[in-house]
Structures are given as C-alpha cells and as structure tokens.
Structure 1
Amino acid sequence: MENRLYDFVIVGAGSAGCVLASRLSADPGTRVLLIEAGPADTAPELRVPMAWPTLFKTPLDWDYATEPEPGLDGRRRNLPLGRVLGGSSSINAMIYMRGNPADYRDWEKAGAEGWDWDGVLPYFKRAEDNERGADDHHGAGGPLKVGDLRTRHPLMEAFIEAGEQAGHVRNPDFNGASQDGFGWLQVTQSNGLRFSAADAYLRAAEERPNLTVMTDTQVNRVVVENGRAVGVELVQGAEVRTVRAEREVIVSAGAYNSPKLLQLSGIGRAAELAAFGIEPVADLPVGENLQDHVFFGLVYRTDVESLSTAATPENQALLMTEGRGPLTSNIAEAAGLVRTRPDLEAPDIQIHAGPIMLVEEGLGIPVHHAFTVAPTLLRPTSRGRVFLRSPNPAAKPRILHNYLTTAEDRETVVRAVRASLEVAAQPALAAHRGEPISAPEGDDDASILRFARHVLSSIFHPVGTCAIGSVVDSHLRVQGVEGLRVVDASVMPNTVRGNTNAPTIMIAERAADLIAGRTPERA
C-alpha cells in the first residue's frame, strides 16, 4: 500500500466527516484522507426511506447496546449507529430539524463562544437546499436536499388535527419562526429517495485527486508524539500501518466512537487509562456528559391500512421509477412540539407519530395495522458516559446512559405521556383508534413510569461526550494536544430540542471555516 502523507486525516465518514472531506478538499492544494470503518453505501435498501428499521443489526450497524440501565430496572437498550459511508445519515429516519435558538444560547453559556444562534444559522443555511426555497430561516442551493414528504398518510393528518383539537397550533415549519405546534416533518430526501451526507457531500468530491476515501478500514488509535497528533494507526484487512497527517487529525466518529478512540489514544481520565495500561497523554473528561433523546411508544390498533403492508412489488417499482408511493415515507411523518409546563422557554417534548406498529425499539414485527404516538424528551437531565471495555480496539465500548435517573426526567416523562394520551383521545384520532398494543395500565404516575421504563427506546441521538468547554475548545481543538480536533455530535455541550443530524452537519460546516482559518459567518 502506498505510504502517502496527508494534510488532514479524518476518522469517520458519517455526517460530519463527509462535510469536512468535501469542504477541506475543495482546496486543490490540500491533501485529505477520509477513513470509514464500514463499507461503501451501495446497498439498495439504503435508498428506501421506509426501510430504515430493517438496517438495524446488519453489517451496516455498529450494533451497540447500553450496559444494564439502573433507571430501567437493569434493562439494556439497543443503540443503532451507522457503519457505512454517510454514517447514521445512511440509516436514520431522515428528519430535518435544527433545534431551538435557546439551545445554542445554552451552548455559548457553556463555553462554546461563537456558537449562539447567530453564529450557527448561516451554516444551517449554507448546507441546505430546501425545495421550498430560501428565506430568512432557510437556504437554497446548498449540498443537502431537504423537502416535504412525497407521501402523507391520512392517519398522520388525523394526528395533526388531534393536536389542534387538544389546543395546540398547526406549525407549517418546525425550522421557521417557532418550534411549537403540530405539523408535517421535512426530510433529507431527493426524488423520494434517501439523501445522506455521503450523497450531499461526497458524491461531488470523491473524484478529486486530492481526496482519498478508505472504506472497510478500522482506526486503532491517534498517534501522538511530543504532545502533537501526527497521524493514526489503522487496520485494513490483515495489515496494520500508520498514516501521517501534516496539519491535523480530525476525529468525526460520533458520540460513542470518538471518545473510545481518544481514550485508546491516551486522552481521557488518566487514572482509568492507566488501569488499562494506556499511557495518559491528556487528562480530560472524555466520554462523560453523554446525553440522548428517548421516546415512549403509545401504539394503537386501527382499521386504517398502515405502512405495514406497503412493501409490495408495485410500491417498490413506484418508488424506484417515479420516486412516489408509500415507500417514500420515513415512518415518522409528523410531530408535535409541546411545552408540558407553562413556564418553559421552549418545548420540552417532541411527539413523533408514525402510521405503523413500532414496538421493541423498532425491532419488532408489525403484525397489526396500527399507529404510534411517541413522546420524546428533548432536554433530558440524566447524564451517562462512554468508557473502555478493553484496550483492544476491536472491543465495543461500554455505554451507560443513566436514562431516567433524575427526578426531573421522571416528572417530564409523566407529563409527556399524559400530553400524548390527551392528543390520542381527541376525536380526529379516536375515530381510527382501536385497542392499545402499548399503553400504561393506569393513569396514575406510578403506572405511567412503569410503562415508560418498560418501553423506553433511544431515538438514536447521542451527543456530548467530547463537549466544547470541557474536552475541546470553541474551535473544536482537543485541549492539551496539538493538531487534533473532534468534529461531530459529541462536541455539543447540551443536546438540542429536535433531531440531531442537521446540527451535526452544521457543526462540520462551521468547523471547516475554523480549520481553514476563515472568520466564521454570523447572521
């Protein structure tokens, strides 16, 4: 194998890594290497929007799980994570949501100087090619295709109407002037097919002679010499070798794998690393501050045909030839963002809804026509951590989320489930609602919490494990190590009120300017 020297070595070709590879290699004088542990994104099921749950526990998924969770009576939870070009943007539900301006004010208060709403909005808009066009809130002409769903199930219109009947407003744009209310979600699709970060950023860049993309390549550690990151040790097939970076190593492996890689490289809690025989390089709280969004599926039978029978040959042909039909659905077609207390400055729950029986963390078989109403905690106060299981790079990390271990989270869960039950009871949905498949046995707090602990599922939005202000600085440079940055969802000091893929892409867009030495834009 040719032993080349690169300016930048990027570890992880997920949402952030694809952005960085494209933006940094746009300078023809810059040599960029992008390394992905998984394969190229050629599997046909990656393109089918409705197929995302079928990608779990396949070779395209890291297939992680939590440690026994103390707040869930010792249960483990499934943690899907994309292991393929595009990362989790290749296996997610494609929802495009940015979060609330209040989230980014909180980032700046936590030490993320320049990451307030005025500092991030230009990068959201730079990335976006919204089919509705450009305005004060949106961009057009950017790499990432964003559009309205091409299919809208009648049960989801009933859900939105039920939200209005429960006293909430209809919201035509969750990324517009206000987050509050019920409405249809926008998605990262093009012509009815999934449009991942790899589609958006790599397709146009991968033919550049100064960009090298390695797939099926595992990175064992960052090589640090005299306090500076100088390259990475990688495994390709049976060969172990070191690739050197003349300017920077950029870790974009996500909120689980980025802290694992840093810890394997001697960057983390020094005492814990020494116990594994790893020489400490920088003593930092790597892997701590882990946050995630979790949902609680209320599932009801219905006499309306759901998406469970959508995968017919006719619908498959309709999708591939015309980009239409029920297979263009992302399942989670609609949502309601709600404040469960009047004193809150922004929504604290997001009620996802889908016209299908969604049980067993998305792994269960939909054996009945049903619909799901799933309240999600937007700003949980529980904090977990990611830490090493072994000094062997092939070992999966230990992940403990500590779900529902704070009284505040448990109180929010009770309010969230009650708010969702109120919506499900409105005439618009009640007309189509049959027997519950998944619901609390009673309406008292204890019954709701028992239900929540039993059905809780991650919605696959881990963040915070290499946070700005504690592990990296506001330029995303790892503190105490030169030539090393982390650029992905792990740098978020706090999670956002909404789905995390768009913010991750924004982080990488802004990081590209910081890395290139350009003055960041502001709104």
Structure 2
Amino acid sequence: MKYDVIIVGAGTAGSLLANRLSRSARVLLLEAGPSNLVSMNPFTSQSPWLHVPLGYLYTMTMPSTSYGFKTMVGPDREIEYPRGRTLGGCSSINGMIYQKGNRGDYDGWNVEGWKGKDMKECFESIEKEGKWPVNKQRLSWDILDSFGDAVEEKKELVRSERLCDSEEEGVGYFQVNQSGGLRVSAFQAFVDDRYVTVKDERERVYNNGNLTVVTGAVVKELVFEEGGGNKVVGVEYWKEEGGAIDDRETHEFRVREGGEVVLSAGAISSPHLMMCSGIGCGTEGERVALAGVGQNLQDHLQLRQVFKLAEGTTSLNPMANSLFGRARIGVEYGLRRTGPLSMAPSQLGAFLRSSPELEFPDLQWHVQPLSLDKFGDEKLHDFPGMTAAVCNLRPTSRGAVELSGGSKDVRDKPVIDPKYLDTKHDQLVAARGMRMTRDIVLGSRSFGKYEPEEWLPGMKYESDEELAECAKKVGTSIFHPSGTCRMGGEDGDEGWVVDKSLRVRGVKGLRVCDASVMVNITSGNTNSPTLAIAENFSRILMKEKGWT
C-alpha cells in the first residue's frame, strides 16, 4: 500500500502532523518505540509512569521509553541524554513545561514564513484549539514562593501568573501540559483523541480511516528511486517485537507519486537516519553531499546549585526519605491527583538578563524544592534542601551529531558532542548566572529566614574563571537538542539543510520537521516550539498540495 505522506517518528512534531495531514491525505506514522496507551488512568495503563508526572524519573532512562543516548561533556565526561522512544516521543517523558520562547528567537532565524509573527499565530491557533492542555501546577512550596520573593526583591519585578515565554524578565510557577494531574503527551492530544474532548467530529483522528500508526518500526534507511536518482520514495524498517529487532527480514513502505517522506525523529535521530542513508558529508558511500547534516547542534546546559536549608524547613527531602512520607505522597495522588507525584521536574522559573544591554532575557532558572548530589540519584539529601539551576538560553557554542566509527547501522548510537561552554561568551554567561543565583538565595532578605548554605558546588569557586571551570564539571543538559538540520537558503550560506518549506537540500521527496530545523535554539523549553514548527509546516505542506 502506498501513502501520501510517511512520517518517521510519532513524537511531538509527528503527532501534530498526523493530526493535520490525515484529514485530507493518507498518512503512515511510524514509531520505533512500543505502543503504550491503554487508558489515561495510570493504574490501568500498560506503562503507568508515562502518565504520572513524576514518572519522568523512570521513563527518561527506561529502555522501553528512551533511546539511552549519552553525550560528551569534555574529553573524559559524558552524561545521560534521554530522547523519547515511545508514542508521543519526548512529550511522553519530558518536564511538561510550557514555553514559547520569544519573538526575537524566530525573527533571528531570518527565514521567510518563520518570523515571530508567523510563529505567534501558530501558538495561538494551537492554544485556541484546546487539545494541548496548558494548566497551572497542582501544588506550591513555601521555599519556592520565597525564591520568587527574593527575585522580586533583587530585580524589582512583579510576579508572573503565566510564565510561558521569555519576552520579559519575570518569575513565577511554570504552566504545564497536564490535565487533572496527569501528563498529556502530543500523541494523546493530537492522535489518540479518545481521551481528549473533540469539539467537531470532523476533526477526529483516531480511526478516521486515513491514518495508519505502526509501532516497533525501527527505520533502517530511506529508500531512493531506482536508477541512482536523489529522490526518496519510501522507507525500509525492521520490526521490533518484545524489545528485540527481527533483522532477518525488513519491511518497506512507499509513497505515491508526488508523496513525501517527513523525518520527525528529533534533532538526534533525524540527522542520524539521513547520514545512515547516505545524506551527509564525508560518509562512505555518500549519495548526497550535504555538509550541514548533524552540525549546528545546540542545547541548554543547566548549572545546578544546591542549597542546604535550616532544620525543620519543609522541602521534599525529608518527606521522600521516610516511609510514612512516601505513603502519604502516594495516597494524596491516588485520591486527589495532587502533591509531589503531580510535580513537573521544576516548578518555579525565572527569566533574567545577564547584562542590561540585552533586549530579551538570556538566563532561565528551574527551581526545585529538593536536592541531591546529581541527577538520577535515587535518594535525596538527608537535610532540607533546594536546587536552583540556571541555563544560558542563547548559547554560542555549536556541536555535532556524527556516525559512531563511521557505522551506518541506525542501531549503533551516534556520537553526540554539543561542545558545551566552547566559547568565551558562554563561559562568561555561565559565571554570571551562577553568581546571580547566589545573590538571589544568599543575598536577599526574603530567603534569609531559611539560613541557606551553598552545598554544591560550593563557595570556593568565586572568580569568572573558577566558575566557568566549575560549570564544565557540574553542568548537565536540560535535553533541548536542536539545530542539526537547520533552515536556510540565503546566498553564501553553505550550512543549511532544509529550505523554508523544510525540503531537504538536493533531495526530492524528503522533508524534516522537528527541533532539528531551528536555526538557533529558542529561549526556553523547546517542546511546544517544536509543536508550533509542526503547525506551521502542516500549513505550508497542505497549501502546496491543495489539501484542506
């Protein structure tokens, strides 16, 4: 059977594309991960941690839901780099924080049809539709409120009730993509609409007759037309059953004449699949030379500072470290869908400028009412603690995704090197951010009542140079890879991969639609900007094809 569109990846972008395109076209949606949705009830679902917000602690590292990538951080350090491998992709395992970036991000891309006003319209359209829930969190903490007070005290700001973009400096609780204390992934919202309100039956996607979803489909390579041309006509994939790939046989799907293959596998897997299929630069058996594939990798590096607080302060640490406390947490969530199990990874946020000359904030804080030595530790500290992590929203360092040892087998994980803190600018911004965190926590009247003490990394790091070196040791990703198949097309620009219609340069029938097409990373969490990218692209493609 042939399709009008084959979408590789049922993640954030792929799910929205399937929703929009299947109203008029025959669409095949391929997902490497397993099927996971039985119901929106975590107690009857096959994968309950995919629905419980705090379940990200498990799903980010579970082989059944994450690719288990690792990324280089310097010559002898690497960190976990979770990427969703399940229906909903990263929206099924991420922090659920709703952010849009700012108009300057998109204007800075300098690509026709992708400016701030264009993307604003896409965000507003998605919000108005009502499928993608954006709600207040169902808990608050005194220590987080005091952190917010401290930011207001130091920066003379007004508390934000809807901290969903980085247009202005501000502090407040993040809004989240949850409904009734449960995570809502892009797949649930836009494809598996048995569990969301459909205002118009004509917009129903599940079982609409035009959409076919195949899980456990590990795409092996892109299929080109016979005769050596550069036209992609389909994909070849292995079928994975029960966690094992049956590579004794492969399956193939093709598009109709004039059809399209769209890669929505994310900023790591989309360029990796292209390179494994011979689209790239310097790969053996290269079919299409395209220097930008896998280059221009950008990410947000968070710099965690842990503060020990006065004995008796209410934080998650003592609650989670006691049997009674954990039981109480479970009961509260079971009865009311509130409490720590409903938590996003970070609850309070702030956007500030590292320099007064900047038009938009370039620093973002993720603040948590808990502390631990490193991300992934099962046990929190024995004392009451808080973590304030700051990140540079617009890093100038650029990394790459490359084949591992030249292997063109997609099952061999690629080499990922974001080259964090590779520029003097990023090192200076890191030092400024960490110093600002100290000033907010240790230098304010509002937070002084908790008698805070910097536990990690510690006050021994003071100068810009010392703080920059410290950042290289303690920095961890917030998992926002982007830019590896960036848009472009201007004269003299040799590094672009896709044009303004997201067509791959020099290849017919192939497009890319995910965070990899960003020219520069957006200033905030990247999941909803990826959704807006898919919304904009769906309009472009439907207009081209005459679909309504």
Q: Give 3-state SS (helix, strand or coil) of 1:415's partner.
A: helix
Q: Deviations over 1:274-324 (max 9, x none)?
A: 2xxx33224341000000001110011234232343573443343244322
- Correspondences of 1:51-130 after superposition (within 5 Å): 51-59=55-63, 60-67=65-72, 69-70=73-74, 74-108=76-110, 112-128=111-127
Deviation at 1:329, TM superposition (A): 1.5
365 and 517 in structure 1: CA distance in 2 versus 1, 3 angstrom threshold:
same
Percent identity between matched residues is 38
Q: What amino acid is aligned across from residue 278 of structure 2 in structure 1?
A: G
Structure 2: give runs of 5+ residues left out of the alignment.
Answer: 38-46, 194-204, 241-245, 489-495
TM-score of the superposition, structure 1-length normalised? 0.90
Deviation at 1:429, TM superposition (A): 2.2
Structure 1: give runs of 5+ residues left out of the alignment.
Answer: 129-139
Deviation at 1:184, TM superposition (A): 1.2
Distance 1:153 1:379 in 2: 29
- Partner of residue 218, structure 2: 218
249 and 264 in structure 1: CA distance in 2 versus 1, 3 angstrom threshold:
same
398 and 515 in structure 1: CA distance in 2 versus 1, 3 angstrom threshold:
same
Given candidates 157, 168, 173, the residue that maps to 2:162 is: 173
Deviation at 1:363, TM superposition (A): 4.2
Deviation at 1:76, TM superposition (A): 1.3
215 and 345 in structure 1: CA distance in 2 versus 1, 3 angstrom threshold:
same
- Partner of residue 131, structure 1: none
- Correspondences of 1:345-356 after superposition (within 5 Å): 345-356=359-370
* Matched-pair contact (CA < 8 Å) for 1:206–1:213: no
Q: Give 3-state SS (helix, strand or coil) of 2:333's partner.
A: helix
Q: What amino acid is aligned across from residue 182 of structure 1 in structure 2?
A: V
Q: What amino acid is aligned across from residue 423 of structure 2 in structure 1?
A: T
- Correspondences of 1:114-193 after superposition (within 5 Å): 114-128=113-127, 140-169=128-157, 170-175=159-164, 178-193=167-182
Q: What amino acid is aligned across from residue 37 of structure 1 in structure 2?
A: A
> 1:381 and 2:399 equivalent?
no
Deviation at 1:490, TM superposition (A): 0.2
Q: What amino acid is aligned across from residue 80 of structure 2 in structure 1?
A: N
Q: What amino acid is aligned across from residue 113 of structure 2 in structure 1?
A: G
Deviation at 1:176, TM superposition (A): 6.3
355-364 or 394-403: bigger deviation: 355-364
> 1:501 and 2:527 equivalent?
yes
* Matched-pair contact (CA < 8 Å) for 1:513–1:519: no
* Matched-pair contact (CA < 8 Å) for 1:79–1:458: yes
Given candidates 185, 198, 202, the residue that maps to 2:191 is: 202
290 and 176 in structure 1: CA distance in 2 versus 1, 3 angstrom threshold:
closer
Distance 2:13 2:166 in 1: 26
Distance 2:279 2:451 in 1: 53
> 1:6 and 2:16 equivalent?
no
399-408 or 232-241: bigger deviation: 232-241
Distance 1:455 1:335 in 2: 20
> 1:259 and 2:271 equivalent?
yes
Q: Give 3-state SS (helix, strand or coil) of 1:506's partner.
A: helix
* Matched-pair contact (CA < 8 Å) for 1:355–1:371: yes
Distance 1:414 1:279 in 2: 42
Q: What amino acid is aligned across from residue 220 of structure 1 in structure 2?
A: K
Q: Give 3-state SS (helix, strand or coil) of 2:297's partner.
A: coil
Distance 1:480 1:168 in 2: 52
Q: Deviations over 1:399-419 (max 9, x none)?
A: 111111101100111111111
- Partner of residue 21, structure 2: 24
Given candidates 415, 424, 427, the residue that maps to 2:432 is: 415
Deviation at 1:185, TM superposition (A): 0.8
- Partner of residue 325, structure 1: 339
> 1:480 and 2:469 equivalent?
no
353 and 400 in structure 1: CA distance in 2 versus 1, 3 angstrom threshold:
same
Q: Deviations over 1:51-71 (max 9, x none)?
A: 21222321211111123x33x
> 1:450 and 2:464 equivalent?
no
> 1:295 and 2:302 equivalent?
yes
Distance 2:153 2:17 in 1: 45
- Partner of residue 242, structure 1: 252
Given candidates 290, 312, 315, the residue that maps to 1:283 is: 290
* Matched-pair contact (CA < 8 Å) for 1:267–1:280: yes
Q: Deviations over 1:215-242 (max 9, x none)?
A: 1110011112222110001001423121
How many residues get paired?
Answer: 493
180 and 517 in structure 1: CA distance in 2 versus 1, 3 angstrom threshold:
same
Q: What amino acid is aligned across from residue 78 of structure 2 in structure 1?
A: R
Deviation at 1:75, TM superposition (A): 1.5
